[in-house]
Amino acid sequence: MTERVWDKFLTQNDKDHLAASKQTRIGFGKRPALVLIDVYRGVFGDEPEPLLDAIKTWPGSCGPVAWDAIPHLQTMLTAAREAEIPVVHVTGINDLQDSIEPWAVRRMGPAKELSGEELERRKRRWDIIDEVAPLPGEGVLRKAAPSAFYGTPLAGHLNYKDVDTLIVVGESTSGCVRASVVDAAANRYRVVVVEECVFDRHEAAHAINLFDMDQKYADVMSLADVLEWLAEWKAEKDNAATSA
């Protein structure tokens, strides 16, 4: 079996338990949607930099792992658009424009203490990066909590679109992705997390949270496997439309 990203963090007891367990995969449903969580400027910065350099100007940066994920995110987004499944982009509420403080403000500190350059970056923090910018007709939601579901109309939008399966990408694996995946599972959606399309500034947190989500709330799958399934799903849909 192919080694998983979390294997090196597991104890022998963990591995023995997995070998003795009979885990059932959740699998895809029939009506998928792609949800991109927090692919915003604040976790990328304006250019690729080592993490310890990046956080000097962008304290919430994930460093190189964020930039490394962009081609995978673009590939997944292109496939979703070609398959014509619903696409939803979720980012944070801009506290400087909306006068509503998201949970992250507690760590960012008050805006009045920022220099001019810091304030300019703070204003752009929640902007979705150009590389995966929403197209007209795609949903764009802003949240004030880690979960994409908390305080947003996401569930209502997905229900309206008759969605039963969420393909989840974005960041951070241990934070907003995990919170959104847990809420998605609680709302009875099938959930697929695309391994190459999620990232975190801490390697251990990324790996163990992927492991935990795969054990409890979602199927953590490779980008290649998700793309293969989506292509087959589109072909079946096209054949059904032609036969109708």
What is the C-alpha to C-alpha distance for residues 239 and 128, in angstroms, rounded to an integer?
35
Q: Is the pLDDT of residue 57 over 80?
A: yes
Measured CA distances, 179 to 49, 79, 130, 149, 206 (Å): 27, 25, 25, 9, 13
Measured CA distances, 109 to 57, 76, 117, 118, 171 (Å): 14, 35, 15, 11, 21
What the block records as the tokens of 21 is 């367990």
Q: Which of 88, 51, 82, 56 is nearest to 68 (CA)?
A: 51
What is the C-alpha to C-alpha distance for residues 70 and 52, in angstroms, rounded to an integer?
20
Amino acid at 2: T
Q: Which of 239, 244, 174 is nearest to 203 (CA)?
A: 174
Asked if residue 87 lies in contact with residue 80, where contact means CB atoms within 8 angstroms, the answer is: yes
Q: What is the mean pLDDT of residues 211-215?
A: 97
**CA torsion sign, 125 to 131 to 137 to 143?**
negative
What is the C-alpha to C-alpha distance for residues 215 and 11, in angstroms, rounded to an integer?
16
Q: Indicate yes or no: pTM above 0.85.
A: yes
Asked if residue 223 lies in contact with residue 196, where contact means CB atoms within 8 angstroms, the answer is: yes
Question: According to the model, what pLDDT value does residue 118 have?
Answer: 77
Q: What percent of the chain has pLDDT over 90?
A: 82
Question: According to the model, what pLDDT value does residue 103 have?
Answer: 63
Q: Which residue has the tokens 């979703």?
A: 80
What is the C-alpha to C-alpha distance for residues 143 and 36, in angstroms, rounded to an integer?
13
Q: Is the pLDDT of residue 113 over 80?
A: no
Work out the mean pLDDT of the chain and round it to a whole number. Answer: 92
CATH of domain 29-243: 3.40.50.850
Strand partners, 194: 221
As annotated, the active-site residues are: 176
When comparing pLDDT for 106 and 76, which is higher? 76
Q: Which of 93, 79, 91, 92 is nearest to 34 (CA)?
A: 79
CA angle centred on 63, ends 90 and 101, rounded to 5°: 40
Q: Is the pLDDT of residue 104 over 70?
A: no
pLDDT in tens, 67-90: 999 999 999 999 999 999 999 999
Question: According to the model, what pLDDT value does residue 1 have?
Answer: 47
pLDDT in tens, 157-206: 999 999 999 999 999 999 999 999 999 999 999 999 999 999 999 999 99
